[in-house]
Structure 1
Amino acid sequence: PFAARITASAASASARAGVPLLVVRRPGWEPGAGDRWTGAASLEEAAGAVPGLGERVFLTTGRQGLAAFAGLDRPWFLVRTVEPPGPPLPPRAVVLCERGPFTVEGERELMLRHRIDLLVTKDSGGAMTAAKLVAARALGLPVLMVRRPPLPEGVRTVPDAAAAAGWVLEAAAR
């Protein structure tokens, strides 16, 4: 859901070719009872909000956006990525290279062990990656949620592969 440039290129190419475009985009996360979420339109906006929200930050926005946080020298960051990140990184950061799925209990224990007081994440949606949100809720932690970029005009979306298959079958029948 954060591949804005790729989606824009696909929308442009499909419009030029006259070929329909469908984007499979799982539903975003919604705050539940007890959640303390603050939204941000970009990683840069999120980085600007961190100093007012937390001192010990669990950062799960992916390795490619870490430069937005590199200028923050006061907060301490626990950065989790799938692949090792390159520079620049926040000066006070510990990097965990791990691949989910993660459990609520594992996320809760990780946040407690590192004395996390703020979770920063992207709204990638889906059930597999929601364990950190449930753990943050259980611990009463604030979440700084980076919203998805808007889709290009006229792009149709479906929430999953089954809906995409249905769309393809309908299109083929026409």
Structure 2
Amino acid sequence: MHVLILGGTSEARRLAELLHGTGVPRLTSSLAGRVSSPRLPPGEVRVGGFGGVDGLVAWVRDHGVDAIVDATHPFAETMSFHAARAAAVTHVPLLALRRPGWVPVRGDRWHGAGSLEEAAALLPALGRRVFLTTGRMGLAAFAGLDDLWFLVRSVDAPEPPCPRQTETLLARGPFTLDGERELIRRHRVDVVVTKDSGGAATAPKLTAAREAGVPVVVIRRPPVPEGVPVVPDPERAARWVLDRLGGRSSPTLG
């Protein structure tokens, strides 16, 4: 059996760790290659795109893939669509592993947006000093907001075009609550922009914003392709994979 994990997330790494050495004959994690020094999971690793749906179909067939787990970032919409189409063409079972999204609590001042462009349109009415945590790509949506100052945090340097008034902070989560409080205070942030990535690694910024009374623009995540089953954690994804394997072994699940 050959299991293909479409990865790049902490959940994908955890799934690879759970499956490694449990009787899965071959395990391959595929990374997009957008981060210069990714944290590599156990098992085989390939880096780079497949070349669209046709390329993924060919790779699945050529490498005898028997099951696919889409454990990409919740906003990797194109890759998820390609995986769904490739699974349908090759008749290989596909599972989506998606961490749950964030849920607002009392005191949050959240403003929903359906895209980066919608988020940018909301900003002038909300603040002037923006903490932008949507990653290094897509900053062109904010490039025309010349009157606003942006603190852009990403793992690697952002890609132009960028807003005219931009300070870049290169950092990789997880982030602490004390650190996020200090960042908002020191940079006098009065509005935060984030994607609804979910998970604990970057959630402290939401608590820090709530405590400071700072509004947060939350970009809604795209839906999982229709018909693809979804699980919220690596443990359940591992069970699904082992069910495809025939139940011959089980990982140690915490």
Question: How would you bin the TM-score normalised by the shorter chain?
Answer: over 0.9
Which of the numbers 186, 193, 204 marks the counterpart of 1:120? Answer: 193
CA distance in 2, matches of 1:105, 1:138: 12
Question: By how many angstroms is 1:149 displaced?
Answer: 1.0
CA distance in 1, matches of 2:111, 2:231: 26
CA distance in 2, matches of 1:86, 1:63: 6
Q: Determine the structure 2 residue equivalent to 1:137.
A: 210
Please show how residues 1-174 of structure 1 align to structure 2 within 5 Å. 1-173=74-246
CA RMSD of aligned residues (A): 1.2
Q: TM-score w.r.t. structure 1 length?
A: 0.96
Question: By how many angstroms is 1:156 displaced?
Answer: 1.2
Question: By how many angstroms is 1:20 displaced?
Answer: 1.4
**Contact 2:96–2:224 (CA under 8 A) maintained in structure 1:** no
Per-residue Cα deviation, 1:39-71 (whole angstroms, up to 9, x for no partner) = 101111111111111111000000111111111
Q: Determine the structure 1 residue equivalent to 2:51.
A: none
CA distance in 1, matches of 2:149, 2:78: 31
Long gaps (5+) in structure 2: 1-73, 248-254
CA distance in 2, matches of 1:161, 1:113: 37
Question: By how many angstroms is 1:33 displaced?
Answer: 1.2
CA distance in 1, matches of 2:196, 2:171: 19
Runs of 4+ residues deviating >2 angstroms: 169-174
Name the SS of the counterpart of 1:47 in structure 2: helix
Relative contact order (alpha carbons < 8 A, sep ≥ 6): 1 or 2 greater? 1
CA distance in 2, matches of 1:156, 1:144: 29
Q: Percent identity?
A: 62
Question: By how many angstroms is 1:26 displaced?
Answer: 0.3
Larger helix share, 1 or 2? 1
Size of the aligned set, in residue pairs, is 174
Q: Give the letter aligned to residue 40 of structure 1.
A: A
